[in-house]
């Protein structure tokens, strides 16, 4: 067992990202984004304007003493803090993330809270951590109905998203309707000699996405969270545009209805596609996996071309309709 005062390496990092449209008609500028994400008075919101407007809140901590989900129903107790933060992209898309890391070896007995508070975002198990069983349980568990006393990271992310959505800066008049998505991840260490990899990426109809990663032990948990936020953002963009186009009929009689769908997408979403813009460079190659299968950017370009085609057809049709009007 690790002794109190030691800082063991992490063998597991897990988290969940909630992604959705900021509930306000107009995008927030950098100053408004900083006000929205000011979760703490002792740390500033990080705002950058290149290559796009991006704001990230400081982390806030939630203390927990609970069981961890496991695939084999083993009882694993862990104590520590879950870190949560929020990100706003171009003043339009809001994300709330909750995540934690855990060492392979825990302690013989529970320590005073001071021990855990100096390890932000770390859950320390009592005894040895069965990291593979916990990773599998975390990805598989329906956290909307998790057992009493079991860790629910998704509820922490959801609570932060809801808190920010009620901010007085927002008017709650969205430019179009959309659904939120959830991306849940678990990262385990790579095997000797292997490189970082995406072992599994799944899409469910209820808006849940799960991703299992293999990463070097030296990877910082905040970098893993940044990668997953980037994946979640672009998955949400794809999902939203696909859903808006789903079921639309084209033709002269439907032109007005089509444009009612297309214009908000052009105004608010099309310029947000920038994969890997803020992903740690050591993790950036993992995007290549998603570019190959299922082909995120290829699908996005196809959707953008459909939107442009609709705008072109509308531009051609408008003068013709005007010339035939009585």
Asked whether residue 151 carries a pLDDT value surpassing 70, the answer given is yes
User: Can you tell me the mean pLDDT for 80-89?
Assistant: 98
The token pair at 212 is 């299992």
What predicted TM-score, i.e. pTM, was given to this entire model? Answer: 0.91
Work out the number of other CB atoms within 10 angstroms of the CB of residue 92.
Answer: 20
pLDDT tier at 245, thresholds 50, 70, 90: confident
319 burial level (CB within 10 Å; 0-12, 13-18, 19+): exposed
Instruction: Please state the rounded mean pLDDT for residues 244-260.
Output: 66
The model's confidence at residue 7, banded by pLDDT at 50, 70 and 90, is: very low
Question: Could you tell me which residues come within 8 angstroms of residue 292 by beta carbon, excluding any fewer than 6 positions away?
Answer: none
Across 209-218, average pLDDT: 94
Q: How confident is the model at residue 247 (pLDDT cuts 50, 70, 90)?
A: low
DSSP string covering 118-184:
TSTTBEEEBSB--HHHHHHHHHHS-GGGPPTTB--HHHHHHHHHHHHHT-TT-----SS----EEEE
DSSP character for 213? E
- CA dist 88 and 19 (Å) reads 10
With tokens 């599998």, the residue in question is 136
Lowest mean pLDDT among 23-37, 48-62, 243-257, 304-318: 243-257
pLDDT of 64: 96
261: which 2 tokens?
Answer: 């769908």
Say which residues have a Cβ less than 8 Å from residue 113's Cβ, sequence separation at least 6.
63
What's the CA gap between 72 and 27, in Å, rounded?
46
Lowest mean pLDDT among 67-81, 208-222, 228-242, 295-309: 295-309
Look at 11-25, 124-138, 263-277 and tell me which has the smallest mean pLDDT.
Answer: 263-277
pLDDT class for 4, splitting at 50, 70, 90? very low
Widest distance between CA atoms in the chain: 88
Mean pLDDT along residues 51-62: 97
pLDDT for 192 equals 74
In degrees and rounded to multiples of 5, residue 307 shows phi and psi of: -65, -45
């Amino acid at each position: 067992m690790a002794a109190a005062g030691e800082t063991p390496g992490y063998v597991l990092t897990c988290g969940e990202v909630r992604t959705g449209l900021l509930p306000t008609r107009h995008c927030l500028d950098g100053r408004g984004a900083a006000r929205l994400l000011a979760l703490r008075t002792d740390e500033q919101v990080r705002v950058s304007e290149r290559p796009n407007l991006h704001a990230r809140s400081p982390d806030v901590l939630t203390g927990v003493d609970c069981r961890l989900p496991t695939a084999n129903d083993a009882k694993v107790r862990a104590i520590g803090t879950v870190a949560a933060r929020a990100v706003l992209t171009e003043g339009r898309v809001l994300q709330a993330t909750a995540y934690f890391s855990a060492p392979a070896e825990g302690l013989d007995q529970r320590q005073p809270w001071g021990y855990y508070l100096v390890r932000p975002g770390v859950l320390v198990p009592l005894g040895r951590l069965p990291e593979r069983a916990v990773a599998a349980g975390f990805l598989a568990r329906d956290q909307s109905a998790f057992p009493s006393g079991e860790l629910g990271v998704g509820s922490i992310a959801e609570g932060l998203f809801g808190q920010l959505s009620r901010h007085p800066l927002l008017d709650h008049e969205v430019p179009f309707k959309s659904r939120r998505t959830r991306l849940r991840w678990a990262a385990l260490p790579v095997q000797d000699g292997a490189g970082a990899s995406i072992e599994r990426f799944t899409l469910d109809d209820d808006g849940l996405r799960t991703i299992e990663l293999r990463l070097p032990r030296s990877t910082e948990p905040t970098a893993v969270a940044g990668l997953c936020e980037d994946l979640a953002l672009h998955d949400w963009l794809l999902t939203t545009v696909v859903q808006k186009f789903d079921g639309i009929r084209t033709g002269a009689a439907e032109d007005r209805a089509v444009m009612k769908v297309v214009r908000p997408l052009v105004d608010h979403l099309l310029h947000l596609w920038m994969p890997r813009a803020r992903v740690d460079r050591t993790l950036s190659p993992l995007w290549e996996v998603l570019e190959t299968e299922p082909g995120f950017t290829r699908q996005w370009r196809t959707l953008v071309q459909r939107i442009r085609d609709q705008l072109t057809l509308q531009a051609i049709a408008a003068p013709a309709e005007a010339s035939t009007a009585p």
